[in-house]
Amino acid sequence: MHTRRIAESMVHFIRTSHSLAPAVVTTEAGSISLNSVLDLAAECTAVNRMMMAVLTRGTVGASRSTPTFTSMDEACQELLRSADELATVLASLSDSALSEEFQHPRAVMRGDNAVLAAYRNMAYHCGQINTLQLLGGDDEFHVPPNWR
């Protein structure tokens, strides 16, 4: 349930973004281009699918490719689809899986951390989208309907 809700929140932030273009910021080292909201949606979609592979002890390598989205609608639909697929996997896990170990590409993770990894990733990226909105001149926090 929470996996779908955070994905819905992220979709809300994507849809309330004024620009899909990467923001450019100036740092002491020079100008850098940040990921766009479509890039962030693609990363979260890929992480959702990677964590499905981790939690089902599948082949993680094939699930690690990051999709390229060409439209806001495509990004939102795929993000929600990946969250729903992950939620199905999470619902199928036994309680004992929380104390088991799972092989993540970067480290072995306990089940209780593995089931939260994609959620935490999407929540983090919601904040990144809010930052991109601020950098684009939007000073309003667009409260998702499911936060009310």
- Render pLDDT for 27-66 as a digit per residue (tens, 0 to 9): 999 999 999 999 999 999 999 999 999 999 998 875 556 7
* Domains, the chain, with CATH or none: 2-18+33-147 (1.20.120.450)
Per-residue DSSP letter, 58: -
Q: Using one digit for the tens of pLDDT, what is the confidence trace for 67-90? A: 889 899 999 999 999 999 999 999
- Return the pLDDT at 66: 79
pTM above 0.85, yes or no: yes
Give CA–CA dist 117/20, Å, rounded: 26
Q: How distant, in Å, are the alpha carbons of 99, 102, 111 from that of 95? A: 8, 14, 9
